Structure 1
């Protein structure tokens, strides 16, 4: 099966997720600049989630760029990833309304953790499909950054029960690490 359809479908789903997320932002009730403070937590949650979705979209594009075909299990793994990503707007809205509350911050972390697990499954299947000597296998290597992210998300979920601000700091730190473009595939293929 051609990878183009998977990439196009995923692009569309991520675009819809971002659209749903921005529609959750509500303007202040009063026409006063000081009222913007009341929506600041929701806006900041949106910014963080937008960055995460952008990271997934960009890395998904790069990963599929080196793959020619996909299999049924890869299609399901991709849907599994899109499922968890589709929950980001819900988790974002709840955390935006209750930015330092345990349950919303823990749920946000859980969605990030499960999205990262789904990414790991998808990338593993693609590497296996392409083979151990493929450009994709060489690009991913041991994926220390991905494994460290999973640990940080797990710590963030646990910290939400004691210090939600630490959780948010961990989620922001992981996004910051991934915001620096992942050039592994570009280096292996020598593309820009």
Structure 2
């Protein structure tokens, strides 16, 4: 089956996730200067981090599907699994923003990131199984050290939340920075001579 509806639905869900997150940014009460914004700094920083993560998933999801030619029922369910965990990002973002120094919000935030990373890996695996080892995506991914190491860092961060939450946040930021470094494997593969033409 074609992939157009899957892409459109996923884009819509991620757009709603970002919209819900930004709606949690409230105007400060009882103040009209910059000092009134200071108590909102944790909320804003948690929003920025989560916005970056959702943007990273959108970007990588886009590139992965661009290298995919057709989808199966298994891929559709794997995609819904990923979107489920990403839909929880606004909840955990708000909880972290309201209680940045508490261990459980930091740990649950990490659990959602870990679950989303696993879901993305399963989606990627479903596509690879459907398209075969010689597919454009398989050749582009290679060893995928980022995808394999990120869940390990998330798991470590979840444990560190009970030592000090800000140690967890530092690791979440570190993973985001690693993924922000441009990774053009799929773009290079799609732009290389002799690539398969996607007509979907």
TM-score range, shorter chain: over 0.9
Task: Give 1:145-160 correspondences, 5 Å limit.
Answer: 145-160=146-161
The superposition leaves residues 33-66 of structure 1 with CA deviations (integer Å, 9 ceiling, x where unpaired) of 1011110000000000000000000000000001
Q: 1:60-71 counterparts in 2 under 5 A?
A: 60-71=61-72
- Cα distance in 1, alignment partners of residues 150 and 140 from structure 2: 18
Calculate the TM-score normalised by the size of structure 2. Answer: 0.93
Aligned to 2:10: 10
CA shift for structure 1 position 182: 2.4
Report the counterpart of residue 111 of structure 2 in structure 1.
110
CA distance in 1, matches of 2:148, 2:46: 24
Output one character per residue of 1:11-37: Cα deviation in whole Å (capped at 9) or x when no partner.
000000000010011121021210111
- For the pair 1:20 / 2:3, whether they are aligned, the reply is no
1:190 CA drift (Å): 1.9
Q: Tell me, which stretches of 5 or more residues in structure 1 are unaligned?
A: none
Does the residue aligned with 1:125 lie in a helix, a strand or coil?
helix
After superposing on structure 2, the runs of 4+ consecutive aligned residues of structure 1 that deviate more than 3 Å are none
Q: How many residues align?
A: 191
Q: Structure 2: which 5+ residue stretches go unaligned?
A: 193-200
For residues 45-84 of structure 1, the aligned pairs below 5 Å read 45-84=46-85
- The corresponding residue for 1:120 is 121
Q: Give the TM-score of the pair, scaled to structure 1.
A: 0.97
Task: Say if 2:98 is the partner of 1:90.
Answer: no
* Root mean square deviation of aligned Cα: 0.9
Deviation at 1:98, TM superposition (A): 0.8
